[in-house]
């Protein structure tokens, strides 16, 4: 007798959802000439406060060396600029330029509109209103786990 397929686990479902949402987000942002990674950087610094690269790397889900290369391109594109942290001159804070703020506002409008369309298409707004805080709590509750090393 053939075995029944196992039901997907949480990690599989979240990974599948992330891939689909990531492709959708990339398509929406491409309309503004913006990548998902650039969007995450712009979003991280959109509050105007200036943020250190380590904080932006966490928000953008990128390793620091990759983020540095991306930020270098964004600086060259006049989207962001670096300034020393007035509280700790050894640290650099990243800020939006006027051009970066305009791009962020246009992209944010597109992202918000698309998310609203997506949520409307899925239906049952009550359950979906509970989903984002539940996912955020899940992420916050998961301890970071260092990659395991192979046994010798």
Domain CATH code at residue 80? 1.10.10.10
Domain that holds residue 107: 34-118
pLDDT (tens digit, 9 = 90+) per residue, 66-78? 999 999 999 999 9
Q: Does 1 reside within a domain?
A: no
pLDDT (tens digit, 9 = 90+) per residue, 25-79? 999 999 999 999 999 999 999 999 999 999 999 999 999 999 999 999 999 999 9
How far is Cα 38 from Cα 128, in angstroms, rounded to an integer? 27
Q: Does 85 reside within a domain?
A: yes
The residue among 91, 86, 92, 107 whose CA lies nearest residue 42 is 107
Q: Does 70 reside within a domain?
A: yes
Q: Does 52 reside within a domain?
A: yes
DSSP-assigned letters across all residues of 58-96: HHHT--HHHHHHHHHHHHHTTSEEEEEETTEEEEEEEEE
pTM for the whole structure: 0.80
- Domains identified in the chain, total number: 1
């Amino acid at each position: 007798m053939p075995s029944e397929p196992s039901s997907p686990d949480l990690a599989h479902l979240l990974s599948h959802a992330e891939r689909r949402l990531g492709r959708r987000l990339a398509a929406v942002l491409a309309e503004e000439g913006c990548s998902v990674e650039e969007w995450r950087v712009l979003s991280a610094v959109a509050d105007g406060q200036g943020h250190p690269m380590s904080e932006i790397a966490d928000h953008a889900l990128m390793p620091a060396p990759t983020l540095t290369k991306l930020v270098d391109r964004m600086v060259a594109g006049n989207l962001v600029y670096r300034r020393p942290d007035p509280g700790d001159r050894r640290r650099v804070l990243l800020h939006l330029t006027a051009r970066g703020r305009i791009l962020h506002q246009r992209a944010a409008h597109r992202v918000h509109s698309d998310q609203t369309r997506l949520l409307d298409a899925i239906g049952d707004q009550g359950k979906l209103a509970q989903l984002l805080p539940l996912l955020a709590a899940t992420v916050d509750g998961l301890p970071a786990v260092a990659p395991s090393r192979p046994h010798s």
